[in-house]
Structure 1
Amino acid sequence: MRTTAAYWREKLQLTQHVEGGSFRETYRAPLQIPQHSLPANFAGDRAASTGIYFLLEEGDFSAFHRIAADEMWHFYDGITLHIYEIRPDGRLLVHRLGRDVEQGEQLQLVIPAGSWFASSVEETGGFALVGCTVAPGFDFADFELADRKALSAAFPQHAGLIALLTRG
C-alpha cells in the first residue's frame, strides 16, 4: 500500500503545528521532574519525556525554532526530511532523516537543547512522517520561534537559509 500525507493526517488525527506541518502528541510521561531538579532555563516542573508524530509536506516547512531540551527525531515513512541545525557557536549542520542509510541518511538523530533548527521536504510532492521525543518533556513555555531579523543578525553567515525557513 502506498501511503500519502493525507492518509497519515487522517489516520493519526494530526492537526496544524505553529512552526509548520502537522502533529499530534502521543505520549506524556506521568513521571514529573520537579523544577528544582532541572536547569534554570526551565520555568516549572516537566514530564520526564514526551513524544509526537510530525508530518511535513513539500511546499511547507518547519520554521526555525529552539527548545530547552534535547529532541530525538525518528523516521517512519515518506522521503528524506532535511533538518537544518544552527548550533550556538554558529556552525550549520544539515541532517538527512530517512531510511537510505547507504546514502548517509539517519533513522534517528538528536538536536541538542539550545540549537536553532528547521526542516523541509525537498522533493516535489513528497512528505515525511517522523516522530519526536523530548526529554525533559516538551512544554510550549520552553519553545521559541525564531524572529527572522534577530536570528539573521545573530548568524549573518546563514541569513539566506534563515530567510527561507522563518515566517517573519
Structure 2
Amino acid sequence: MNINMWKGDPRAEALAADEVIRLLNLQLHPGCTPQSGANESYFAEVYRSNHPVGSETRSTASHIVYMMKDGAVSFFHHLDADEMFHFHMGDPITIVELSKDVPGHTRKTIMGNDIRAGQSLFHVVKLGTWFGIIASADGRGGWSLFGISVTPAFQLSGSKSGVRRELMEEYPDARDTILKLTCDS
C-alpha cells in the first residue's frame, strides 16, 4: 500500500481509520488518556537501524508510522534525540513546541497536504524541546497519518513526559496550551 496519498485522492478518502490501522498493523499507543478516546493514537515501529552509535548499544536511527484519530492529542514530552516528522495523509495535525523565544511561549506548525495554505510536509523537533501534537477535531471521524524518524534511535529511557506544574512555571504565557496538552492535574 502506498501511504504517500493525500487528502483529495479518492483512494485516501475511501480509507476508514480502522482499515488503515489493520493494513499497517498499528497498535494502540499506551499514552495517558484523561477521558475515553481523547488520546486515540496508533503506531508501529517500521525501522530500527542495526548500526550502533559509536561504541554505544543505541541504534543510529528509528522510524515509526503514527496515526491520530479525530481530536486526539499527544501530550507534552521531549526526547534526547531529534525527531523528524513526515506527513503522509489525512487531516492536518498541529505540532506545538514550547519556547521562551516566541510570544506566548508556543510555536505552532501545521502539518498537512495543503501546501498552498502553508501546511508543512516535514518538520523537525530538536532534542530537548517540549512538544505535543493536536489532531484535527472537526467531528467527522477523520484521522491523520504521519511518520516520525528519530536519530539517534528512540529509546524509552530518553523520553520524558511533561509535568503540568513544572511546565507552567517555566512557560507561564502558555498556560492554556499546557492545560490542554498535559494529563496530570
TM beyond 0.5: yes
Give aligned-pair identity as a percent.
28
User: Where do 5+ consecutive residues of structure 1 fail to align?
Assistant: 36-43
Partner of residue 79, structure 1: 91
Letter of the aligned partner of 1:34 in structure 2? G
Cα distance in 1 for residues equivalent to 2:121 and 2:49: 23
Partner of residue 102, structure 1: 116
Deviation at 1:128, TM superposition (A): 0.5
Letter of the aligned partner of 2:183 in structure 1? R
Question: Which residue, 118, 131, 147 being the options, matches 1:117?
Answer: 131
| Alignment length (residue pairs) | 160
Letter of the aligned partner of 2:62 in structure 1? T
Contact 1:73 / 1:133 at 8 angstroms: preserved in 2? yes
User: Where do 5+ consecutive residues of structure 2 fail to align?
Assistant: 1-10, 32-38
> Structure 1 pair 88/49, CA: closer, same or farther in 2 (3 Å)?
farther
3-state SS of paired residue (1:46): coil
Cα distance in 2 for residues equivalent to 1:100 and 1:34: 40
Deviation at 1:159, TM superposition (A): 1.1
> Structure 1 pair 88/28, CA: closer, same or farther in 2 (3 Å)?
farther
TM norm structure 2? 0.81
Matches for 1:1-168 after TM superposition, within 5 Å? 1=11, 2-19=14-31, 20=39, 21-34=41-54, 45-87=57-99, 89=101, 91-122=105-136, 123-124=138-139, 125-168=141-184
* CA distances 1:81-137 after superposition (whole Å, capped 9, x unpaired): 111011365742100111110000011111111111111112322210000000011
Letter of the aligned partner of 2:132 in structure 1? A
Letter of the aligned partner of 1:119 in structure 2? I
Letter of the aligned partner of 2:85 in structure 1? W
Root-mean-square deviation (Å): 1.6
TM norm structure 1? 0.89
* CA distances 1:53-106 after superposition (whole Å, capped 9, x unpaired): 000112321111100111000111101111101136574210011111000001
Contact 1:87 / 1:114 at 8 angstroms: preserved in 2? no
Cα distance in 2 for residues equivalent to 1:96 and 1:11: 26
Cα distance in 2 for residues equivalent to 1:87 and 1:79: 26
Contact 2:100 / 2:171 at 8 angstroms: preserved in 1? no
Cα distance in 1 for residues equivalent to 2:47 and 2:145: 17
Cα distance in 2 for residues equivalent to 1:144 and 1:5: 28
Cα distance in 1 for residues equivalent to 2:16 and 2:170: 38
